[in-house]
Structure 1
Amino acid sequence: MSNVVWSIAGSDSGGGAGIQADLKAMQSFDVHACTAITALTAQNSLGVEAINAVSTEVIESQLLALEADMKASVIKIGMLANVQQIQLVAEHLTRYKSRWETPPLVVYDPVAIATSGDALTEEDTVDAIKTHLLPLVDVITPNTHETQILTGVYLIGPEAVREAGQKLRGFGAKAIVIKGGHWDYPKGYCIDYCWYDDEEYWLGNEAINTPHSHGTGCSLSSVIAACLSKGYPLKDAFILGKAYINKGLKSAIRFGEGIGPVAHTAFPHQLEDYPQVIEAGSWLGDELDFMVPDDYNYAAGFSPIDGELGLYAVVDTIDWVELCLKNGVKTVQLRVKDAQSPTLEQDIEKAILLGKQYDGRVFINDHWQLAIKHGAYGVHLGQEDLNVADLHAIQKAGLRLGLSTHGFYEMLRAHNYRPSYLAFGAIYPTTTKDMTGQIQGLEKLRHFVPLMKAHYPTVAIGGIDLLRASEVAQTGVGSVAVVRAITEAVSPEQAIVELKQAIDEQ
């Protein structure tokens, strides 16, 4: 996927928002930003003094030049100053989406009202936006004021936010991010909402008390655009954009006599900058009156693990469990894919006994009831299992809990449960499981590790063989999980020796 992103937006002469903010935010995420200027605003920290719209001829010349040589994977749109500009941009987007070999995603930040309260677009542009632009938009990122202007829905609670999101989808937008910086509900907190592909995502954190927040909306949408261009799913782009803004607000500095700009920093690597993933049963979920299912069994805080897990073998038979433990692998997971296996319980009981015999840590994948029954060291669950497993029972039995995560959103969701370890994957494509759309790669792993290593043992999994084990370990991850690297080796015993050496040398 091309890491070229276009920003079609206005210029902020004060340097805090618009094109200037877009360039800084995108650069923070290592993408190349190209620009097409729609307006030259005369503004400073005290407000907007003039909006000088660029002619459609000049805008088109910029777009044609970019299209000829630097096609974008994502196009971010900010301020469009009049109906003619909206129609022109919509015409070009229609052509891009129908004729480009790889149609671009479109992220639209509907700049209707500046933070200072000054109107930035003409009133008659709203109908043109709904008619011409929104049907072409993949992600729209309005703040509460802009949402109300476009939908007529006053955002007084979660149901109103959902209703507004439905109206925006009705206009054609495929995904919605409603920014909560101006929505003080619950009081003292900032709550953000995302809807995509029939799933909704809520994020929340304590409001950051600073007056210097100019350019937050432009910057958030630009981070989302940058992350989408790098292949991140929207829910991850959403949470990274929010963390970036939180970090920028904490570091904001005043320039001039009015409102200062949000600071532009590097990739957010401090967990305290990240918002909470809000779920039913959590404190913020209760404050937002989220419906709690009758069978909900949220639990947080599981038995800890001393030290790192080291080489972590994931195998599917008792023979492999014993071979790995006998040859010095201290962490083994029994993953039996056939839940109807007539020997399932017998195998799990044997694996647990082997773990005790060889003083190893044996985790049971998925089958938490049997793991509890036979006193396993721990159980490993996927994200989907969090909704069905009896977490209280696992916690009460003293079992360690390992959780799989595929991206930043799932990582932060898993953090809600305070598990015993976190596994990140798939790092590389693997034949043992269909991980389409969930390949993380080393770049993401390098971001995951510093976020979570101080809180949990960390595990990398997915497509890791002997040749890749060293580079994975160099990220600082505490454990490398392998499947085929042992079970398909000519000499599994020798493979274990070499894998341990590759990991331990880092």
Structure 2
Amino acid sequence: MNNFPQTLTIAGSDSGGGAGMQADIKTIQERHVFATNVVVAITAQNTIGVQDSFPLPLELVTKQFESLAADFKIRACKTGMLADAEHVAVVAQNLRHFDFGPLTLDPVMIAKGGASLLADSAIDTLRSELLPLATVLTPNLPEAEVLTGQKIQTTADFKIAATQLQKMGAKNIIIKGGHLDNSDQACDYVLYADGSDDWLNTPRIATVRTHGTGDTFSACLTAELAKQVPLKKAIQISKAFIQVAIANPIAVGHGHGPTNHWAYQEVEHD
């Protein structure tokens, strides 16, 4: 019992199925890992945008953590949409209480359509409560700028920002450069806990079907860590996974469509 790799996603529900915990669960399943979930918030959402959202009661969030801890052997976990400062705090409290393995912290702030998924008042709580718990922090460019309070435009800026984030407590930093549109490459910067660093570069793909890319990347990383894949290899697999998912799109929705979560299994081999 409980020998199969198991993960936890702590996030919001995307009714459109392309991002949030739906994207997490689809991705984790594709990597042959079992996914559990703690629902923090429910959204009315599609590829066009977020029409409404509702954070769940704090007591119910904690009850979900307790329920999972009583039955499953979770080997890695991740966060996504956490809504507001109160929910960030209760998630951090439960992650300190329960050992769910390495934490991948995806600091989700803005949906593809522009809707805010994290209250401004929650940023400080995220910095102080969750960053010190993170094994891996995976902000995109705008999120890294918010967390550090500085613009990131050059390769030197990436390194400075990652160092700042590491000083806040996160052990390993991946700043995703997909929003930096002055290059034909999508360049991600990785700063490891031991001070070594790396760049992950893939060809930029011109498409609007990028809904849930950050969730998908961090979910793949979480699944690999649950299988005890070394971090550097896990990051490389996750970068390849999301690249293939974007390059082989699914034609659904009228806005920022989803990535293809099963594409990697069809065109790549471990």
| TM-score category (smaller protein) | over 0.9
Of 12, 19, 24, which residue of structure 2 is paired with 1:10? 12
Q: Distance in 1 between matches of 2:16 and 2:69?
A: 29
Query: Once the 2 structures are TM-superposed, how far is the Cα of residue 270 of structure 1 from its aligned partner?
Result: 4.9
TM-score by length of 2: 0.95
Q: Distance in 2 between matches of 1:28 and 1:266?
A: 9
Q: Distance in 2 between matches of 1:251 and 1:69?
A: 37
Q: Which amino acid in structure 2 is aligned with residue 188 of structure 1?
A: D
Q: Distance in 2 between matches of 1:130 and 1:2?
A: 33
Q: Distance in 2 between matches of 1:178 and 1:261?
A: 21
Q: Does 1:140 align with 2:142?
A: no
Q: Spell out the pairing of 1:311-330 with structure 2 (5 A cutoff).
A: none
Question: Which residue is 1:199 aligned to?
Answer: 196
Question: Which residue is 2:45 aligned to?
Answer: 43
- Would the aligned equivalents of 2:248 and 2:263 in 1 still touch at CA under 8 Å? no
- Would the aligned equivalents of 1:9 and 1:18 in 2 still touch at CA under 8 Å? yes
Larger radius of gyration: 1
Question: Which residue is 1:19 aligned to?
Answer: 21
Instruction: State the superposition RMSD in angstroms.
Output: 1.5
Of 149, 154, 160, which residue of structure 2 is paired with 1:152? 149
Q: Does 1:189 align with 2:191?
A: no
Query: Once the 2 structures are TM-superposed, how far is the Cα of residue 266 of structure 1 from its aligned partner?
Result: 5.3
- Would the aligned equivalents of 1:90 and 1:133 in 2 still touch at CA under 8 Å? yes
CA deviation string 1:215-256 (max 9, x = no partner): 000000000000011111111111111111111111112322
Q: Distance in 2 between matches of 1:266 and 1:70?
A: 29
For structure 2, the residue ranges without an aligned partner over 5 or more in a row are none
Query: Once the 2 structures are TM-superposed, how far is the Cα of residue 109 of structure 1 from its aligned partner?
Result: 0.5
Of 21, 44, 54, which residue of structure 2 is paired with 1:52? 54
Query: Once the 2 structures are TM-superposed, how far is the Cα of residue 59 of structure 1 from its aligned partner?
Result: 0.7
Q: Which amino acid in structure 1 is aligned with residue 262 of structure 2?
A: T
Query: Once the 2 structures are TM-superposed, how far is the Cα of residue 96 of structure 1 from its aligned partner?
Result: 2.3
Query: Once the 2 structures are TM-superposed, how far is the Cα of residue 83 of structure 1 from its aligned partner?
Result: 1.2
- Would the aligned equivalents of 2:76 and 2:226 in 1 still touch at CA under 8 Å? yes
SS in 2 for 1:69: coil
Q: Does 1:244 align with 2:241?
A: yes
Change (3 A) 1:2 1:90: farther
Q: Distance in 2 between matches of 1:268 and 1:155?
A: 34
Q: Which amino acid in structure 2 is aligned with residue 28 of structure 1?
A: E
Query: Once the 2 structures are TM-superposed, how far is the Cα of residue 202 of structure 1 from its aligned partner?
Result: 0.6
User: Which segments of structure 1 move beyond 2 Å, counting only runs of 4 or more?
Assistant: 266-271
Q: Which amino acid in structure 1 is aligned with residue 19 of structure 2?
A: A
TM-score by length of 1: 0.51
Q: Does 1:87 align with 2:84?
A: no
SS in 2 for 1:192: strand
Question: Which residue is 1:114 aligned to?
Answer: 111
Of 133, 148, 163, which residue of structure 2 is paired with 1:166? 163
Q: Distance in 2 between matches of 1:18 and 1:168?
A: 24
Q: Distance in 1 between matches of 2:120 and 2:6?
A: 32
Q: Which amino acid in structure 1 is aligned with residue 173 of structure 2?
A: I
- Would the aligned equivalents of 1:191 and 1:204 in 2 still touch at CA under 8 Å? yes
Q: Distance in 1 between matches of 2:39 and 2:46?
A: 18
Of 65, 68, 90, which residue of structure 2 is paired with 1:66? 68
Q: Spell out the pairing of 1:89-488 with structure 2 (5 A cutoff).
A: 89-97=91-99, 104-185=101-182, 187-196=183-192, 197-265=194-262, 267=264, 270=267, 447=270
The one of the two structures with greater contact order (alpha-carbon pairs below 8 A, sep at least 6) is 2
CA deviation string 1:445-501 (max 9, x = no partner): x73xxxxxxxxxxxxxxxxxxxxxxxxxxxxxxxxxxxxxxxxxxxxxxxxxxxxxx
- Would the aligned equivalents of 1:56 and 1:85 in 2 still touch at CA under 8 Å? yes
Aligned length: 267
Q: Distance in 2 between matches of 1:227 and 1:86?
A: 25
Q: Distance in 1 between matches of 2:56 and 2:30?
A: 28
- Would the aligned equivalents of 1:201 and 1:235 in 2 still touch at CA under 8 Å? no
Q: Which amino acid in structure 2 is aligned with residue 108 of structure 1?
A: L
SS in 2 for 1:236: helix
- Would the aligned equivalents of 2:140 and 2:176 in 1 still touch at CA under 8 Å? yes
The percent of aligned pairs where both chains have the same amino acid is 38
Query: Once the 2 structures are TM-superposed, how far is the Cα of residue 177 of structure 1 from its aligned partner?
Result: 0.9
Q: Distance in 1 between matches of 2:263 and 2:91?
A: 31
Q: Distance in 1 between matches of 2:234 and 2:264?
A: 12
Q: Distance in 2 between matches of 1:203 and 1:33?
A: 27
Query: Once the 2 structures are TM-superposed, how far is the Cα of residue 195 of structure 1 from its aligned partner?
Result: 1.2
